[in-house]
Amino acid sequence: MAVQKRFIAGAICPRCAEMDRIRAWEQNGIRYRDCVSCDFFEQAPIEDDAHSELETRVNREREEQRSDTIQTVRILDPKGR
């Protein structure tokens, strides 16, 4: 049975910095990643407590939003009072 390799949307290659070029797959308890644009390859054992996300533009923006200051929300009266 062939292992299905999936592209990770928004992932940035740590070697060549290209976006949307990283593939990931799991096989025999090991998680693999590689880049289709350069020779980047990484493998790591799958850990039960590690649901670590790969860095993407989406989760990076989420971190930036968390670090922003708190802003007050003003609720407007639809009747104009």
11 located within any domain: yes
Provide the CATH number for the domain around residue 18: 2.20.25
Q: Name the residue with tokens 């020779």.
A: 39
pTM for the model stands at 0.55
41 located within any domain: yes
50 located within any domain: yes
Q: What is the pLDDT of residues 21-59, one digit of tens each?
A: 999 999 998 999 999 999 999 999 887 655 566 777 777
57 located within any domain: yes
74 located within any domain: no
Helices (H), ranges, the chain: 57-67
Phi, psi for residue 62 in degrees, rounded to 5: -60, -40
Average pLDDT estimate for 7-13: 93
Domain extent at residue 47: 6-67
What's the mean per-residue pLDDT of the chain? Answer: 82
12 located within any domain: yes
Contact call for residues 24 and 13 (beta carbons, < 8 A): no
19 located within any domain: yes
User: Residue 68: pLDDT above 60?
Assistant: no
54 located within any domain: yes
Task: Give the DSSP H or E segment for 81.
Answer: none
